[in-house]
Every structure is written in C-alpha cells, then in structure tokens.
Structure 1
C-alpha cells in the first residue's frame, strides 16, 4: 500500500473515532425525565391546593340574581321567574361540584385549614335557604321559571344527587345544620326507592340501551349510601353500598385485565364490547376507597371490596405511563394522558398506603402520579387536560377523540383529593422515604417500613 493510501486510511479512522466520541458525549447517561422524578414538598402541595381552590371559587360569586337585570335577589318572598344561581363552577348543584366539596371537607381534616370547609357551609346553607323560593317560582311560573338547584328535588338520575348528596352529609356531620336533613332524606329516598334497578338490586339506567349499567354510577351512589349509613346508623345503607360494588363488578370488572369496562347492557350481555375508560375506573376505585374508609373492618363484604381494590391497584401500577400519567383509555398507549383519572388513582394509591390497605412499595407510583398532575395545574389554579363529560359508548373512536379542557370540571375535585392524601403520605411517620439523587445515573424512590429496619 502506498504512503498516500496509508495516510488517507489513518485520517478516516481518526475522523470516525472522533465522531464516535462526539456522539458519546452528546448522549447523557443521566435519565432525562419528561416529568420531574423528584420528591414533592408538603408546602408546594399546599400551594397547589390553594391555587386550585382560589381559581375554582373565583368562577362564581354564589348569589341569586335576576338573569334579566343582572341584579342580586335578596327578597325570597316574591316569586321571580328570572331568578337564577349566578353562573360558575362553584355555584353548581352537580356531581362534579360534589367531588370538590367532599375534597374541601377532607382538606380541612388533613391540614386544619378551615377556609376550605367554609366553602361547604356557604354553599349548602344557600341551597337550603333558597330551595323553597325556587320551588315556589316553578309552582307559579311553570316552565318559564328555569332557575334553581339543578333538578332538585325532582331528581331524574343518580348524577342529580348522589355525589353532591354525599358532600352534604359530610358537611352536616361537621356543622350540624339540621336544615340539611330534609333534602338528605329526599336524596336517600330517590337512590334507595325510585332509581331504576335490575332485578337483583343493581343500580342501572335506561341509557344508552334500555337496560344499561355504568361504572360511573358507583360514585354516583356508593359514597352517598355509605355516608348515609354513617349518619343514620342504619346498616341497610352499608349493605346496599357493598352490594353495588360487588354486583356491578360481576358485570363490569374483567379479572384477566384487572379493570372495569365502562358499561354493560343487557342486549349484548356476556359479549358486551369492552372499553377501559380512565375516569370510569377512577370513579369505581374512588367508591371503594369511601367504603373501606367508613365500614367497620369485619363488616360483611368489606374484604371482597378490599381484594378488588388491591387487584386494581396492581393493574394500575403496571399501566402507569412513564410520565406518571395514565391514558384516557387505560390499555391504549396511543390515547392521550388524562388528568382526572391520574389524580383519582394518585389519591387512591396514596390513601391505600396510608390506611394500610396496600403495600407501601406502591409509594413511588403515587409520587409520580402527583408530579404528573402538578404539571397540569396552571399558574392561575385552573386544572387542564381533563377529559370532557363522556357517555357510555360502543366504539374506540369516540373515546380516542374526547375533548379536554380547564372547563371539564371533573378534574378539580380529584386534584384536591390527591393533594390532600399526598400530604398525609409525605407526613406518614411509618415510612422512611429514600429519595432519588439529582443527576444520578441509577437512583430510584423507595418507601421503607421503619418497623422492619433496625435503628441506627
């Protein structure tokens, strides 16, 4: 080989080696996490909760107004067909506001910040004060009087009363305002005696098929039922709460998958198409959390609910995205990362650890769930990335392309709940939490049970 060829070969080898070294230098061995793989602080979580609450409250001044003049109505003796509750999230008699108000009551317990619970008292006091006025308006003006507190007291569906009714009971158990009791009793009568059920007592709907069971209806009924049992001491409500979970699971829970199908209908029966929608599974496991929190440990059926809860948590840990989020269709990684179900799962997993229902090894799943949720809380406190209200459908396309926005109020209560439970988790003195080291090649979260380790 000529000298020229030798020199050319050496130059080529040198250039290739330089390119390899350059490539190695640009590829970091330190993981580049899209959502921070870091330990949140209690103060930072409290800051998020305050922002969310302030934004939520800012959407409505919670007054009764004349929709024609815009002026506040304070005289509730004279009927007015234009009377309305001022618009905004915080003024709705709705199941989503029910989740928020239940979360406010819980944050009061966890943090001792009574400003959250003050919102509950303000809201429900206004409801019971003005409900007779709205009823009189409907009596006098008929359909011309469109204002009021939703369909109260003439409920047409569980959505109309179950979730917000549960929040009302929780509020009553603290402030003891006896004016709440007649409406609470009306809700109990509707759920127990007037809502459509299957022959075995399972709560059902005439929508979309004539005989349909929705996973969502677990949250629209069970929290009210179990809290009604707590309020009255009547175990028939406990029994019905447990029955709803177990009997809906017979139709909707798929053991081989570890998730709830969104809905079931009689027409397709055992061959019903299955869609594992995130928030429906959230409502299901959130309902189990309520039951496990209220029922005595040895109450009949509680262990079956606990087993179902644990099975779901195991599945959810497996399906959590690397960002900490869960997908809108839980088993479809090409559907978007959704806020409300991520917040619910974060709350339930953290709650399960705090209460001893599940192993502490799931702690990192909850931390990353919270870190993910935190990225969706905007500077003004609005919660973004929440799937819009979603019916029980029978095709993937519908679920894939659901809208999402800050105006989908289904995300606010779950985020508030998740933050409160994460505070409890970080302050839980049963654990040593090993935190990942910044800029480390190989460092992970670990929750260790103090009682298992010798003191140093």
Structure 2
C-alpha cells in the first residue's frame, strides 16, 4: 500500500511539472510550440484535456479555453488528416463553456472528415500532412489518434450517427489493413496501391497511437455507438502482443520487435496508458496493470525537475527500412509531453 501511495504521489507531482513545461513551450519550435493547429500541439491539448478531466482542476480547462480562443482562427487554413487533431478538444470545450464557435468549428471538421477527406481505394482516410509531401494511397496508424478520435467526439457532441458510423468504419479499416497477422502488432503504414506494409516496421509509437486511441474513441461514443466485437478482439490481441515485447525496465524499444533498438519514452507511455484504459473498459486482464506500473516507474525517471520528458523520438514518417527508425534523433516534443501526461493522469 505504501509503495502504491508513493507511486501515485510521484505521478501527480510529475504531471504538474510535465504540464507546466507544456505551458511554457517554445515559440517558433516545431516540436514544442503550443500555439499552432497541427498534430503536435493537437496531441498536447488532447492530453491536457485528459489531465483536466482526471484532476478535476477547473483552471486547467480555463487554460485550454484560452488556448482555443487564441488559436482557433488557424484551424481554417488547411484541412489535412494530421492537422485535424486539435479539433478533438472542441467538443469538450463546448460542453464546458457553451461557446458556439467551438460547436460550429467541430461540426465543420466532422463534415470535412466524412465528406471531403481524401481516401484510399478501400475507403480508408489517406494520410495527409501540412508539409509539401504526398503519401498517395497510404494508411498510417497515427490517423486513429489524430482523426478517428476527432470524429468520434464530434459524433457524440452533435448526436450524428453517420459521424459515429464513419468513425467505427475508419477504425475497422485501419485495424484490418495495419494489424500484422503474424504478431498482432500494428505496422506503421500500409500502401494500399501496392498492397504491402512499406518498411514493415512495427513502430512503437504507431502501436501507441492505437493502444491509447481506441479506448478514448469508445468512451467518446458511449451511448451513441458501440465498437464491434472485431475491433475489441483485435485490440485485445494487440495489447497482449505489446506486453510480450516490454523490456525489463518497463519501456519498449522504438521498434517493438527489435530489442537492440533504443528505448523510446512516448510510445512506451502511450502503450501503458492503453493498458490502464483497456483494463478500466473491461477489455483487458487486470494483470497488465503491473506492466503499466513498471512503465510508469521508468517514465518518472525520465522527467527531470524542469518537466521536459527525455528519450522521445522525433517526428517519424514511414522510413525506408526498419533499421532507419533506430537513427531517429530524440528531443523534447509536445506529443512526448502529452503521452506521458496522459499516463501520469491515470494514476490519480
């Protein structure tokens, strides 16, 4: 009992430091600037929303409202799959503030996702980014967290069953295309035109986006739509598979089935968060909590006094080879801060 209490107290204090470092940010920095409308600050604000909900601190939601009022004008510049991530907090902010600007912007994002977002020949959302680069006919695991979560939350806000059905459809397509039959792990990407998993990397953060995202999506649509048995079964298989690749120190290597690769903090935190949420949902065996606790202990050691999470790999497209993932440099990022904050928030 004493050990558990100490762990929870350490998590609470570390969460405050991680959150504080996010607020300070670094203007003009791609990886640490909160004042943008793209996937990097998007993961940051999604995590802050989770932290606010779990901590019950009204001032955190007030700060999130302030962020949205300052940045929502940027949401109209460009609509791409990665850039819709920040819209995920607008339904929460609309419920909190009653500000119709948030309601209308979120509804427009839902309409864009269902009617305009580019799709592969299977109907899955094609991965698109703000950079001047094309990923034609490519499906990435990242999209589950960056876009399916958005549509699920907008569906609940609007009561639009068509939005909910599309969210479930996209989730099922992504799971079917990306989940490796041999290992049950997720590939980072899939080329629909050529019918192969590209580099074939079972990248840890790709698995983390799915591990964290699916319980959040299910919760978002509660009372409106349920996930089909196939998705839940696939999720169980995924989480059982990730558990088998955990290192003794509680972390995972940056590619799950390459134990010689460097340990990566953000993906590890996301997978452990998924374990905690999956247990809470009743999908996963409670025994996985011990593995999540082990990850938490490792993560606590990777957050110094300034709250900047260490050991986070930089932005990672689908690489040309599995070996190339081990060369991605590590540096502070808002998505690293965010995934760690989400894990820490589960220990309250």
Q: TM-score, normalised by structure 1?
A: 0.70
Q: Which residue of 1 aligns with 2:126?
A: 204
> Residues of 1 paired with 2:77 and 2:34: CA distance?
21
Q: Which has the higher contact order (CA 8 A, sep 6+)?
A: 2
1:174 equivalenced with 2:96 (yes/no): yes
User: Are 2:180 and 2:186, in contact at CA under 8 Å, matched by a contact in 1?
Assistant: yes
> Residues of 2 paired with 1:108 and 1:216: CA distance?
24
Q: Which residue of 1 aligns with 2:146?
A: 220
Q: Which residue of 2 aligns with 1:415?
A: 340
User: Are 1:292 and 1:306, in contact at CA under 8 Å, matched by a contact in 2?
Assistant: no
1:334 equivalenced with 2:257 (yes/no): no
Q: Which has the larger radius of gyration?
A: 1
Aligned residues: 341
User: Are 1:60 and 1:91, in contact at CA under 8 Å, matched by a contact in 2?
Assistant: no
Which residue, out of 36, 47, 63, partners 2:13?
Answer: 47
1:277 equivalenced with 2:195 (yes/no): no
User: Are 1:208 and 1:392, in contact at CA under 8 Å, matched by a contact in 2?
Assistant: no
User: Are 2:125 and 2:170, in contact at CA under 8 Å, matched by a contact in 1?
Assistant: yes
Which residue, out of 158, 162, 165, partners 2:81?
Answer: 158
Q: TM-score, normalised by structure 2?
A: 0.91
What RMSD in Å do the two structures reach over aligned CA positions? 2.4
The alpha carbon displacement at 1:309 in A equals 1.6
Q: Which residue of 1 aligns with 2:46?
A: 102
**Higher share of residues assigned strand:** 1
Q: Give 1:288-327 correspondences, 5 Å limit.
A: 288-296=214-222, 299=225, 301-327=227-253
User: Are 2:35 and 2:71, in contact at CA under 8 Å, matched by a contact in 1?
Assistant: no
The alpha carbon displacement at 1:374 in A equals 1.0
Q: Which residue of 1 aligns with 2:177?
A: 251
The alpha carbon displacement at 1:392 in A equals 1.4
The C-alpha deviation readout for 1:225-278, integer Å capped at 9, x for no partner, is 110111011111111111111111221101320111111113431475411011
User: Are 2:91 and 2:157, in contact at CA under 8 Å, matched by a contact in 1?
Assistant: yes
The alpha carbon displacement at 1:297 in A equals 7.6
1:367 equivalenced with 2:289 (yes/no): no
Assess, with a 3 A threshold, how the Cα gap between structure 1 residues 220 and 320 changes in structure 2: closer, same or farther: same
The alpha carbon displacement at 1:189 in A equals 2.6
User: Are 2:199 and 2:319, in contact at CA under 8 Å, matched by a contact in 1?
Assistant: no
> Residues of 2 paired with 1:298 and 1:106: CA distance?
21
> Residues of 2 paired with 1:330 and 1:243: CA distance?
27
> Residues of 1 paired with 2:197 and 2:107: CA distance?
39
> Residues of 2 paired with 1:277 and 1:296: CA distance?
30
Assess, with a 3 A threshold, how the Cα gap between structure 1 residues 176 and 337 changes in structure 2: closer, same or farther: same
> Residues of 1 paired with 2:139 and 2:342: CA distance?
26
**Helix, strand or coil at the partner of 2:150:** helix
The C-alpha deviation readout for 1:360-379, integer Å capped at 9, x for no partner, is 11110110011111111121
The alpha carbon displacement at 1:109 in A equals 2.2
The alpha carbon displacement at 1:95 in A equals 1.7
Structure 2 gap ranges (5+): none
The alpha carbon displacement at 1:59 in A equals 2.3
Assess, with a 3 A threshold, how the Cα gap between structure 1 residues 292 and 126 changes in structure 2: closer, same or farther: same
